[in-house]
């Protein structure tokens, strides 16, 4: 079964939204096959988001992602990568479609509650980042 990585970001963990978000993932048919709570340090957050290094929002993003704990999980389902991206919604919650996780829970374009891998190749790398034994 195809797998993808989902992160519940600090803004959502801080607002006690872990359960609400997992409810939506399970209702959409995603199986949780790995799950852990982790507090990234700055270097780890930089490494996870290295594709964005040099962009104007990079330092703010790294500071945010290392500010408090996140939840990392591997989700399995048919069409896991593209269907999870659809369930998550656009990067900016203000632009995200009605009923998407970011539209419902996101605060702003940085504090947008969740991360989801954007391709099968990225998913494989991102899963290894949090679950190296997988
Ligand atoms: N981000 C930001 N400002 C922007 C664009 C992105 O703070 O103008 C943050 C946001 O948290 C986003 C992450 O950087 O989720 C990664 O950006 P990307 O363009 O890959 O968006 P995503 O794939 O998460 O939708
Ligand atoms: Mg992305």
54-76 pLDDT, tens digit per residue, is 999 999 999 999 999 999 999 99
The pLDDT of residue 4 is 99
Dist. CA 24 → ligand 1 center (Å) = 21
The pLDDT of residue 34 is 98
Bridge partner list, 8: 71, 114
**Is 115 noted as a catalytic residue in this protein?**
yes
Atom of ligand 1 minimally distant from the CA of 91: 25
The pLDDT of residue 78 is 98
* Nearest residue (CA) to ligand 1, atom 22: 91
Q: Which of 9, 77, 102, 115 is catalytic?
A: 115
**Bridge-based pairing state of the strands 3-8 and 31-38:** unpaired
Q: State both tokens at 112.
A: 């947008």
The pLDDT of residue 128 is 98
List CB contacts of 96: < 8 A, sequence separation 6 or more: 89, 90, 102, 103, 106
Atom of ligand 1 minimally distant from the CA of 115: 24
Low-confidence ranges of the chain (pLDDT < 70): none
pTM higher than the cut 0.95: yes
Could you tell me the residue ranges of all domains in the chain?
Answer: 3-130
The pLDDT of residue 23 is 98
Domain 3-130 CATH assignment equals 3.30.460.10: no
């Amino acid at each position: 079964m195809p797998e993808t990585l989902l992160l519940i970001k600090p803004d959502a963990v801080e607002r006690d939204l872990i359960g609400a978000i997992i409810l939506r993932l399970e209702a959409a048919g995603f199986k949780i096959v790995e799950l852990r709570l982790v507090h990234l340090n700055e270097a780890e957050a930089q490494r996870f988001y290295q594709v964005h290094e040099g962009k104007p929002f990079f330092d703010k993003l790294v500071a945010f992602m290392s500010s408090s704990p996140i939840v990392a999980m591997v989700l399995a389902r048919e069409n896991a990568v593209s269907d999870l991206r659809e369930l998550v919604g656009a990067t900016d919650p203000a632009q995200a479609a009605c009923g998407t996780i970011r539209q419902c829970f996101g605060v702003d374009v940085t504090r947008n509650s969740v991360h989801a891998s954007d391709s099968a190749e990225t998913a494989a790398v991102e899963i290894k980042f949090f679950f190296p034994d997988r």
